[in-house]
């Protein structure tokens, strides 16, 4: 056999060995990545200022995930623009599992209709992990406000069109659009006052600068118990376990069928490895089912955690985007 033939066969054998090693290495590296993840601190971006419902629940989740994953979960508040500022940080982050977003599905799904142009694609630039909770919001007023229920509020608003101000924790948020849905169904006009988060809005309504606010139940509950706020109604189809004596908006005559929920969920940047998403999903679902998480102050008044699959959360997002777009159009809200 010639030397050239022998060398050619040797070269082919080397190439096959290298290719086999690369393929095997690639196959083995995927589960190995999931097994070792995380090997350093993980950043949890909350696209809202401190003090609101998203911040309170996100920080509680971060505390429990730190223990479950064995690495520090560092909360990074990036408030502003109804979550757009924080979401952009996540969309541009490396898809390696070390940047995670905790946000409201409602606000996130509303942004394509609220903003003329977003610095990211809401469906293509994020990978869903799981929903945590889905809650109603609550209409609260300063104790000096004369309305004792939604019927009184509607009557006052009809008597003084546009004169009554109603605060929300951001344009396009569940807080804002719950008020818009009320205005549409009750045929009333109130002046919307948007804030950059629930914390600042609560401060002003407690201080009497704004008479009405649509709040998360979690944020409002301590102030309701202390008498600093008064609840008129909740936005769900049934009464809240935390506020069993507070009626739903739908219990008001003429507003039957009113309902608006505020789900919270976790995302990672698109192209994050599926095995890392799976590990995050499984860990989060286990955490939110623990008594320690469910009995924490952040979970007070909430129903059972959701903990659905990434595919189910993606389907919910598509449904929310379509439903919210119709509400925004009906409310006559112009994109920013």
* pLDDT confidence of residue 219: 87
- CATH class of the structural domain 136-251: alpha beta
Return the domain boundaries, the chain. 36-135+261-331, 136-251
Residue 253 exposed, middle or buried by CB count within 10 Å (0-12, 13-18, 19+)? exposed
CA-nearest of 98, 133, 111 to 268 is 98
Mean pLDDT of the chain: 89
Model confidence at 5: pLDDT above 70: no
Give Cα 263 distance to the centre of its chain.
6
What average pLDDT does the segment 298-317 reach? 91
Cβ neighbours for 24, distance < 8 A, ≥ 6 positions apart: none
Q: What are the Cα distances from residue 307, in Å, to 7, 59, 109, 281?
A: 59, 17, 19, 8
**Tens-digit pLDDT profile for residues 111-130:** 999 999 999 999 999 999 99
Does domain 36-135+261-331 bear CATH number 3.40.190.150?
yes
Please determine whether the domains at 36-135+261-331 and 136-251 fall in the same fold group of CATH. Answer: yes
**Tens-digit pLDDT profile for residues 149-187:** 999 999 999 999 999 999 998 888 899 999 999 999 999
Q: Which pTM does this prediction carry?
A: 0.80
């Amino acid at each position: 056999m010639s030397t050239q033939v022998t060398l050619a066969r040797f070269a082919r054998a080397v190439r096959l060995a290298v290719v086999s090693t690369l393929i095997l290495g690639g196959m083995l590296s995927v589960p190995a990545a999931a097994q070792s993840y995380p090997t350093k601190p993980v950043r949890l971006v909350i696209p809202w200022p401190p003090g609101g419902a998203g911040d309170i629940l996100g920080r509680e989740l971060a505390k429990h995930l730190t223990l479950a994953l064995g690495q520090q979960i560092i909360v990074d508040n990036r408030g502003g623009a109804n979550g757009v500022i924080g979401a952009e940080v996540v969309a541009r982050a490396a898809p390696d599992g070390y940047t995670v977003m905790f946000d409201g599905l409602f606000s996130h799904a509303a942004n394509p209709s609220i903003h003329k142009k977003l610095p990211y694609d809401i469906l293509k630039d994020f990978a869903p992990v799981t929903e945590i909770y889905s809650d109603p919001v609550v209409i609260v007023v300063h104790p000096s406000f004369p309305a004792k229920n939604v019927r009184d509020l509607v009557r006052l608003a009809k008597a003084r069109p546009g004169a009554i101000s109603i605060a929300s924790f951001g344009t396009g948020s569940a807080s804002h659009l719950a008020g818009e849905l009320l205005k549409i169904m009750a045929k009333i006009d109130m002046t919307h006052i948007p804030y950059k988060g629930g914390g600042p809005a609560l401060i002003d309504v407690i201080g009497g600068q704004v008479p009405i606010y649509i709040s998360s139940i979690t944020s409002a509950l301590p102030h309701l118990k202390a008498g600093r706020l008064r609840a008129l109604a909740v936005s769900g189809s049934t009464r809240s376990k935390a506020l069993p004596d507070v009626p739903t908006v739908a219990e008001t005559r003429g507003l039957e069928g009113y309902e608006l929920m505020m789900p919270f969920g976790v995302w990672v940047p698109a192209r994050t490895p599926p095995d890392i998403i799976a590990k995050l999903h499984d860990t989060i679902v286990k955490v939110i089912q623990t008594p320690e998480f469910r009995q924490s102050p952040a979970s007070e008044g909430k129903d059972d955690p959701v903990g659905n699959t990434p595919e189910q959360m993606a389907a919910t997002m598509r449904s929310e985007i379509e439903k919210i777009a119709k509400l925004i159009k009906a409310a006559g809200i112009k994109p920013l």
